């Protein structure tokens, strides 16, 4: 990116997997799938990518959340978000990747 940080483009659904191909067919209206099943397929499609995502996110874990005052001007909101992003990237680079559950 412009700030010199490495970035990876991710797309979901990831259409190269078997589940992704099913989703692609559904999204292109070439097949019909029950809504609840589609929801599960989208979830499964993300789980297929868990190892790759773990590697990508291992050095960039964000804090649990930040508040941004959206009543400010667009420029000021942008500056605030940018500052939070820079801080978050620097802080996350110092932390190991944790696990949500074991």
Q: Give the pLDDT confidence of 15-26 residue by residue, as tens digits.
A: 999 999 999 999
Segment 1-11 mean pLDDT: 74
Q: Under DSSP, is residue 91 helix (H, G, I), strand (E, B) or coil?
A: helix
Q: Under DSSP, is residue 76 helix (H, G, I), strand (E, B) or coil?
A: helix
CA–CA dist 84, 78 (Å, integer) = 10
pTM value is 0.53
Are the C-beta atoms of residues 68 and 81 closer than 8 Å to each other?
Answer: yes
- Those residues whose C-beta lies under 8 Å from the C-beta of residue 64, and which sit 6 or more positions away, are none
Token output for 25: 């067919």
Token output for 67: 């508040």
What is the pLDDT confidence band of residue 80, given thresholds at 50, 70 and 90?
Answer: very high
Query: How far is Cα of residue 20 from the mean position of the Cα atoms in its chain?
Result: 17
Are the C-beta atoms of residues 13 and 24 closer than 8 Å to each other?
Answer: yes
User: pLDDT for 32-62, tens place per residue?
Assistant: 999 999 999 999 999 999 998 888 776 555 5
């Amino acid at each position: 990116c412009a700030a010199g940080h490495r970035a990876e483009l991710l797309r979901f659904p990831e259409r190269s997997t078997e589940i992704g191909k099913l989703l692609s067919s559904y999204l292109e209206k070439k097949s019909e799938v029950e809504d609840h099943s589609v929801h599960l397929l989208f979830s499964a499609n993300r789980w297929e990518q868990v190892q790759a995502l773990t590697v990508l996110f291992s050095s960039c874990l964000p804090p649990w959340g930040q508040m941004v005052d959206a009543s400010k001007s667009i420029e000021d909101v942008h500056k605030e978000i940018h500052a939070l992003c820079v801080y978050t990237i620097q802080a996350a680079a110092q932390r190991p990747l944790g696990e949500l559950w074991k």
